[in-house]
Structure 1
Amino acid sequence: MPAPTILTDWHDLPEALRGATVALGNMDGVHLGHVAVLRAAHAARPAAPLAALTFEPHPREHFRPEDPPFRLTLLPAKAQALGAAGASIVYALPFDAALAAMPAETFFETVLAQGLGALHLACGQDFAFGHRRGGDAASLARMAEAGGIGLTVVPPVMDRQGPISSTRIRRALQDGYPERATAMLGRPWEVRGVVVHGDKLGRVLGWPTANLWLGRHLEPARGVYAAVVALADGREVKGVANIGRRPTLGGDPETRLEVHLFDFQGDLYGQEIGVRLLHFLRPDAKFAGLEELKSAIAGDAEAARAALG
């Protein structure tokens, strides 16, 4: 599936990038519910290009910048997931003070109707938009009908616990249940980032690791995971990952993700990798010294290999 075209403005779009059928929402994580909205948009006008409209930063990041990071997907990963679900265009509109202050009617008229020339819209039942979330699915339906644009309002995708949502996926990850997140996303949750230099201690201990900062990603339960690492060249390598602040080594001010790749030789510094968390093995722990830490890592690696089959 070719990568979608990412646009960060709705003004003066070339004709080829207008006239799409547009799925609306923040779509953090691009879970099964979001995919259902995309599919409904496509089904309504299959001959039209399929687009997703989302906001960057996430509105919550704009309104509450002091909140801890909570994102499941940052824009490049989100666009890739939207592309895998069929979108050829991603409108990632900058969410700033001007957009936050725009009334729902103005947003519909200037952005959706005039700017994007949308042929058809699709959204979830809980979609809200415009200044102080003044527009909802019902008011969008009235505006769309008046403007001659189709609208599909998509019911939530359910599992045994209820409607699938980004909030539930975040909670599953924070509680140490990545398998539940995988089921709701339709794929394992992945932290994507550039490999940075650590203090090379893993190498000294005999377990070299690739290090990433979590940055704006949600911090899942701290501890050890069985993981699969997606490399920049397309290869996938099994491994064992640790998310935490390294209490045995005096503690880090910022949470890091360290992953040891099984049976792997190569230099990953400066490369972007994706670490997919599949199984939670144990919580973060403080060990008496390096020898105890070393034997714990050996046990973790064995447990991860077994969990990954």
Structure 2
Amino acid sequence: MDKQTITIYDVAREASVSMATVSRVVNGNANVKPATRKKVLDVIEKLDYRPNAVARGLASKKTTTVGVIVPDVTNMYFASLARGIDDVATMYKYNIILTNSDSNNEKEVKVLNTLLSKQVDGIIFMGNEINDKLREEFKRTKTPIVFAGSVDEEDLYARVNIDYVAAVQEEVKNLIDRGNRRVAFVCGPLEQAINGKFRLKGYKQALKSAGIPYDEKLVFETDDTYKTGTLLQPALMAVNATAAMVTDDELAAGIMNGMSDADVKVPDDFEIITSNDTKLTEMVRPKMSSITQPLYDIGAVAMRLLTKLMHNEPVDEKNVLLPYGLMKRESTK
């Protein structure tokens, strides 16, 4: 028998029971005699019958599947979040469909619609920005959505983050307190709210508190990649920066290596602090100081929040802020 075509009907016929009995065994219903259950399970194993999750979902109106949209699955930051999501999903017996959107607006909309067409029960979104088209799609769907490590300035969706404004403000204050009057802010695209509205705000507040005028020449907007980081050294030196607050670990590692290639000593001549505290911060030399965020927990809490929304359980707080910390390593004095 072709494995692809084995149905519940084949199992019922082979075990000489009704399809309803097979269904009860598959779904763990206690109302089956032990001997019958064993007979059915033996046939299921022999035929290698795999219950169709989608078909089962149609009967129960639940596919027990969650869609996860990640901008870049190779970035350690998102990989750590995904781990937390997956572990909690497994605990609640949900399957995960992980999709990669390449931080591309068109692709994000396409990926979302693909997940919705697969009848997922919920969606976790990890993009860095929600463009208008995506927002329209979110508003149209009745499927519950939770943001993990993503901000929502319109305050419509449940989300799990750290306080990016406060974290950046504290880190920049530390750099200023050590005598750095020219602190560069090196970030990903400013059109992404997490950078343009939250982190930049923290940077500006730290300058203001220290009585240092904001100088936009010290703001470097990049594409968040390691390669771009390696090329920034001349531009940072040209504006007399003595330190940098960087929004992504791979970008920060690039800056550090670029400095090293130009014989600029980190941290003696130039201090670097990064934002995500992924494993990368410990792998490079010098090790990088960073804002710490409980990446695994952000993913896990987001998934738990989603299970509540999917089961219509009451949710006390839609905007969950988890604690951040500051990890002092060797890239700062």
TM-score by length of 1: 0.31
Q: Which has the higher strand share?
A: 1
Q: Which has the higher helix share?
A: 2
